[in-house]
Amino acid sequence: MAKINFGGVEEEVVTRDEFPLEKAREVLKDEVVAVVGYGVQGPAQAMNMRDNGIKVIVGQRKGTKNWDKAIADGWVPGETLFEVEEAAEKGTVIQYLLSDAGQRSQWPRIVEHLNEGDMLYFSHGFSVTFKDDTGVVPPPHVDVALVAPKGSGRSVRANFLEGSGINASFAVHQDATGKAKDRTIALGIAIGAGYLFPTTFEREVLSDLTGERGILMGALAGVMEAQYNELRKHGHSPSEAFNETVEELTQSLIRLVGENGMDWMYANCSTTAQRGALDWKDKFRDATAPVFKDLYESVASGNEARITLEANSQPDYRARLEVELASIRDSEMWRAGAAVRSLRPENWKK
């Protein structure tokens, strides 16, 4: 593992230079990787591994939309596409990529097919960390590991096709074979990770749930709504309010942050923007710090996990989710966003 300095703190990470794809292929040459679940992460990880020459099969319930999607992606029923339990039996690495609620409900069926020396692989520490709520307790005769890409499945696939990768964390929770670490890192390289950094199942889930509810999704959406609504109250048009709140961020500024950091983005904006941002940054930090404190405590206590499992296990979950998402989609702010996106040059009618 390479030692890298992160903000004055030295960490060990795994890069493709020290663990190239050829080494990953050698480690995985006798493995059959069964990707169980073809929803969010499953398609990207399965196709990336297939493209990288790893023997992959998919487990998905027949008759579902995701079964049909798997066929459309080139998986062949009876050859590389099977019912969940059959795939789990055939695999030597079982990538358990169902939703957290789905992992809880399917666990009694999956655990019966974990043979000695198999690896049980997760992309989220949820089920194992909150085992009292999920019932997911791996048997002692299998390796238990995690590779968690720091991005959506769509990004994992898109970045792979572009020749880059999404950074990922990895952890070995249980080493029954003595080879769990190499197997885990090889799988991370095979799914196309940019680099891999070590964590634990618990640290992964606490940071992940905090991030999703916080700056990555919940806080971002909430702060955007607050600014948009304030601008509209003062007579700014939907187009102006949306462009100043969302479009400039997503199409310009955040790209500059991604290239070279926040300071570099500041340095490439007007002096008026710089001064205002520097003056108001700490006010936003201090105002939201108590919210993040409450959020982390709710995640660490298991409260967020229990809320998630309860809500996502309801038979009408999908219908209720669509209503909630529609309320965002149909709001003035995001209807304005749809109009703004349609006017981007790449969408102009020729």
Active site residues: 124
Could you give the count of Cα atoms lying within 13 Å of 291 in the half-sphere of its Cβ? Answer: 13
Sheet of 119-122, strand order? 2-6, 9-15, 195-198, 168-174, 143-149, 119-122, 93-96, 33-36, 56-59, 81-82
Contact indicator for 146, 127 with CB cutoff of 8 Å: no
Where are the extended beta strands (E) located within the chain? 2-6, 9-15, 33-36, 56-59, 81-82, 93-96, 119-122, 143-149, 168-174, 195-198
**Residue 326, phi-psi category: left (phi > 0), alpha (psi -120 to 50), beta (remainder):** alpha
Closest by CA position to 241, among listed 344, 332, 341? 332
Which element (helix H / strand E) includes 105? helix 100-110
Contact indicator for 312, 319 with CB cutoff of 8 Å: no
What is the phi/psi pair of residue 179, to 5°? -120, 10
Separation CA 210–CA 90 (nearest Å): 36
Could you give the count of Cα atoms lying within 13 Å of 145 in the half-sphere of its Cβ? Answer: 28
Separation CA 76–CA 80 (nearest Å): 5
